[in-house]
Amino acid sequence: MHKDIAIIGAGPAGLIAAERLAQAGHHVTLHDRMPSPARKFLLAGRGGLNLTHSEPLETFLPHYGAARTLLEPAIAAFPPQALRDWADALGAESFIGTSGRVFPKAMKASPLLRAWLRRLDGLGVRLEAGRRWTGWNDDGALAFEDRDGNALTLAPDATLLALGGASWPRLGSDGGWVPLLAGQGVAVSPLRPANGGFAVTWSDTLRERFAGAPLKRITLRFAGKEVAGEAMIDAHGLEGGAIYALSGPLREAIARDGSARLEIDLRPDLDIARLTEKLGKRRPGETLSNHLRKAAGLSPAAVAVLRDSVGGKLDEAPEALAAAIKSAPLCLTGTMPIDRAISTAGGIEASEIDAGYMLRRLPGVFVAGEMLDWEAPTGGYLLQGCFATGVAAAAGMVAWLEARDGSGQDASSP
């Protein structure tokens, strides 16, 4: 029997669940508080939509850290190749970049989203935009407020919550669902920034002259982990892909100790002996900045960071300079605000959901995407997790509805 399904949140997790549920024959309505769907998905595509990663699952899954146990069944059921096949069927023509990351040929999200929405429309999925979910009423019906401030209620046969985390709230995910679920007794770990920048107390000179400058081809080290890539100097600290990959352990260290000591290798392609040799060939009268630029190949921004890392005064002996370049220490004093982070850590604890992604305390209410307590680095792991949990939650909902029908019970949300 076909059922009425409410999906709250029209991001990737909600949209893919809507597709699967409509294909199973159910009547699906998507509710989103924004005027149009998938706004954060569109933003992610501005610099090249990184859908997933091509590496095998044995190296892919460890990127989810402690949440691997939660996500592995969903990702195994809808792995990176399945996501690529799905995107290709929508005309995305995905390809593998030199880093192993997977992108659509168009390198943006808008063509894929347009084709996706056409497919959903053809499946009969309805979209109710400008509709903010406010929880449940006393009768257990879903409560909403429309764009004009009018209240309304719905009593679907099952509900999927796919409301995202709390990063980029202007695009729709503001974490407003946290007190609504906490009020129902659902355990939610505090939402924290993930894949975000970190505060550094720069000198006035560095902040004024080099804010916005990149640090290219560097390696960052922290707590036994090493990440190669790039970073960007911000007026208040450091951002960029390399530091995002370490955001979890850095964030936890700052929460525990008040600060974290990050080391930057500004020339990872040269060993310390070769670098010392090059730095030993300084011409008489040559300024230190010019010498570091020519002999060590450091950009002006890298030189400024090097100076700040030692408090402004560098030991000019070749051995000391080489050691500083290979391991420049920075004291990180805090995280950038959550609304500037790419994603969110924390969320609904794994113990609160069953194998079908249904909330144990709220039969008929399922969850997917970034609302769950997991985080992952950029590189395709974030979108893969959202898509896979959306597919898994849809499958769990179909199975639950069929079981309820088979037992003769009413399949209604709380």
**Residues 41-86: tens digit of each pLDDT:** 999 888 789 999 999 999 999 999 999 999 999 999 999 999 999 9
**Residues 317-368: tens digit of each pLDDT:** 999 999 999 999 999 999 999 999 999 999 999 999 999 999 999 999 999 9
3-state secondary structure of 140: coil
Whole-angstrom Cα distance, residue 252 to residue 256?
6
Question: What is the structure's pLDDT at 45?
Answer: 82
Whole-angstrom Cα distance, residue 237 to residue 295?
27
pLDDT grade for 411, boundaries at 50, 70 and 90: very low
The CA distances from residue 319 to 138, 271, 277, 306, 326, in Å, are 72, 12, 9, 15, 11
pLDDT grade for 105, boundaries at 50, 70 and 90: very high
pTM for this prediction: 0.92
Which residue type sits at 152? L
Ordered by start, the domain boundaries in the chain are 4-194+342-407, 198-335
φ/ψ of 164, rounded to 5, equals 75, -170
Look up residue 255 and give its two tokens.
């929460």
Task: Tell me which CATH homologous superfamily contains domain 4-194+342-407.
Answer: FAD/NAD(P)-binding domain (3.50.50.60)
Look up residue 19 and give its two tokens.
């597709």
**Concatenated DSSP letters of 59-127:** HHGGGGGGGHHHHHHHHHHS-HHHHHHHHHHTT--EEE-TTSEEEETTSSSHHHHHHHHHHHHHTT-EE
Residue 145 pLDDT > 90: yes
pLDDT grade for 407, boundaries at 50, 70 and 90: low
Handedness of CA 37, 40, 44, 47 (dihedral sign): positive
3-state secondary structure of 181: helix
Residue 88 pLDDT > 50: yes
175-211 burial, b at 16+ Cβ within 10 Å, e below that, comes to bebbebbeeeebebeebbbbbbbbbbebeeebbeebe
End-to-end CA distance of the chain: 20
**Residues 372-394: tens digit of each pLDDT:** 999 999 999 999 999 999 999 99
